[in-house]
Amino acid sequence: MSYGVTLKKRKVFMLRYWYFLSVKEIMEECKMSKSQVEVALFRMRKLLKEEFEERGYIHG
């Protein structure tokens, strides 16, 4: 499910957790403020956790 996640937010998530870029590097790459990057990461982690819980991979 996409949950209305934009390509930009997906990119932020991948840059952080696949390529291990710092928040500062992501800010520069995506032309976003620090708070925008941090909020995007927080929300993506929350969505991922909810998806894993729904599928029974983890228990809340």
Question: What is the C-alpha separation between 37 and 56, in angstroms, rounded?
Answer: 28
Count CB atoms within 10 A of the CB of residue 3.
Answer: 11
DSSP symbol at 58: S
Q: What is the pLDDT of residue 2?
A: 59
Q: Mean pLDDT, to the nearest integer, of 49-60? A: 92
Question: What is the C-alpha separation between 41 and 13, in angstroms, rounded?
Answer: 6
Per-residue pLDDT tens digits for 11-51: 999 999 999 999 999 999 999 999 999 999 999 999 999 99
Confirm if 5 and 47 have CB atoms less than 8 A apart: yes
